[in-house]
């Protein structure tokens, strides 16, 4: 199958892209790495009047590691997140989660902004952005606004982005005292799509968990924090065994509005949490 005919424009500035997107009465779709959009086009699941290609806008790409915040342009490729040495030191979980996505030939095209805007329920980077307390910056001809990553995805494949807004950058607070791990289960085979994932943030003192942050993916339409599990982790030794945590994650994650295999997914999330805990304990040398 091929896409329906559409007009195509390739602006080189953000302002030109915003003007192209602001076209009342027309369906105008931004194109980033195309890894999700192009299959949707060719299967005719979307039929835009105009495609606005963001690839020529150099101002939308780049990684700036500041003392308090890391700013990442929406068009930054996942491969660049994975290979940026300064980013790997500042936010190692972001680099490792980017590296977990599919194969290198997908990651050289796929972008951070595309991953967040596509909002697949089990995707890695939206979950990590929620766990790290990131903010998403959106611009349109009306101005700019910032939305917490935790409120950006509004459902499976949908976000609060207005049709004429471009996601321009994502900002991550640099120091929150927690160290993070990302662990996921993917489908087998060459595509390796994610099924369930867990992003765990821990602050540990004297071998005990002081603060925990737990975000699960693939157990509901959007990445979700599990406050009950976070509370249950506080005060525990970081080293296991913690078999009851699997049940605790399963209970909380299974409450999401359901997949047919919701119970299985929730149980997998519990096992992934144990893996993340064990990886953290290993890194802390315990
Ligand atoms: C074979 C395969 C395996 C994959 N495996 C994984 C995996 O293991 N883990 C995982 O997390 N993901 C996985 N993915 C998903 C992949 O990460 C996404 O396809 C990719 O992140 C989408 O980014 P993109 O830059 O290609 O966006 P595009 O496909 O170009 O766009 C996606 C959507 O976002 C919109 N959009 C893009 N950028 C912007 C912007 N700046 N502002 C406003 N709207 C925008 C587009 O209009 C479109 O609706 C896989 C994909 C494939 C094809």
**Alpha carbon nearest to ligand 1 atom 41, residue:** 167
C-alpha 204 to ligand 1 mean position (Å): 34
- Residues with Cβ < 8 Å from 25, sequence gap 6 or more? none
User: CA 230 to CA 200: how far, in whole Å?
Assistant: 9
What tokens were used for 128? 């990590």
The residue with tokens 């927690």 is 178
pLDDT, position 180 = 96
pLDDT, position 152 = 98
What tokens were used for 9? 């424009």
- Choosing from 6, 35, 57 the residue with most ligand 1 atoms within 8 A of its CB, the one to mutate for a pocket test is 35
pLDDT, position 139 = 98
Q: Which residues line ligand 1 (CB under 6 A)?
A: 29-37, 54, 74, 101-102, 106, 109-111, 113-115, 117-118, 123-125, 161, 166-167, 186, 191-194
What tokens were used for 212? 């925990």
C-alpha 41 to ligand 1 mean position (Å): 13
pLDDT, position 249 = 87
- Choosing from 14, 49, 52, 117 the residue with most ligand 1 atoms within 8 A of its CB, the one to mutate for a pocket test is 117
C-alpha 110 to ligand 1 mean position (Å): 6
What average pLDDT values come out for the chain (286 residues) when binned by 10 residues?
Answer: 93 98 96 97 96 98 97 98 97 96 95 98 97 98 98 97 98 93 86 90 92 95 94 88 82 78 91 92 75
Long-range contacts of 200-205 (CB under 8 A, 24+ apart): 200/131, 200/273, 200/276, 200/277, 200/280, 201/131, 201/132, 201/176, 202/178, 202/233, 202/238, 202/277, 202/280, 203/177, 203/178, 203/179, 204/179, 204/238, 204/280, 204/284
**Alpha carbon nearest to ligand 1 atom 17, residue:** 115
Q: Under a CB-based contact definition with an 8 Å cutoff, are residues 238 and 245 in contact?
A: no
**Whole-model pTM?**
0.96
pLDDT, position 190 = 64
Q: At what angle do helices 243-253 and 262-283 cross, to 10 degrees?
A: 130
């Amino acid at each position: 199958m091929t896409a329906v005919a559409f007009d195509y424009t390739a602006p080189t500035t953000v302002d030109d892209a915003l003007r192209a997107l602001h076209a009342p009465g027309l369906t105008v779709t931004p194109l980033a790495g195309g890894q999700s959009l192009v299959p949707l086009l060719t299967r005719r699941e979307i039929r835009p009047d105009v495609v606005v290609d963001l690839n020529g806008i150099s101002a939308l790409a780049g990684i700036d590691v500041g003392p308090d915040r890391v700013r990442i342009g929406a068009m930054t490729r996942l491969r660049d997140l994975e290979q940026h040495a300064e980013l790997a030191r500042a936010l190692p979980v972001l680099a490792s989660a980017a590296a977990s996505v599919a194969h290198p030939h997908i990651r050289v095209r796929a972008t951070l902004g595309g991953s967040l805007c596509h909002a697949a329920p089990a995707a890695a980077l939206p979950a990590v952005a929620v766990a790290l307390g990131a903010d998403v910056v959106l611009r349109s001809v009306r101005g700019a606004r910032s939305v917490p990553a935790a409120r950006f995805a509004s459902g499976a494949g949908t976000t609060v982005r207005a049709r004429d807004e471009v996601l321009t950058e994502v900002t991550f607070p640099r120091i929150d005292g927690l160290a993070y791990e990302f662990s996921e289960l993917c489908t087998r085979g060459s595509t390796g799509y994610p099924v369930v994932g867990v992003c765990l943030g821990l602050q540990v003192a004297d071998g005990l968990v002081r603060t925990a942050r737990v975000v699960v993916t693939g157990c509901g339409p959007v990445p979700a924090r599990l406050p009950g599990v976070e509370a249950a982790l506080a005060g525990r030794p970081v080293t296991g065994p913690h078999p009851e945590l699997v049940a605790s994650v399963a209970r909380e994650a299974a409450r999401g509005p359901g997949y047919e295999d919701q119970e299985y997914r929730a149980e997998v999330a519990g096992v992934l949490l144990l893996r993340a805990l064990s990886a953290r304990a290993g890194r802390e040398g315990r």
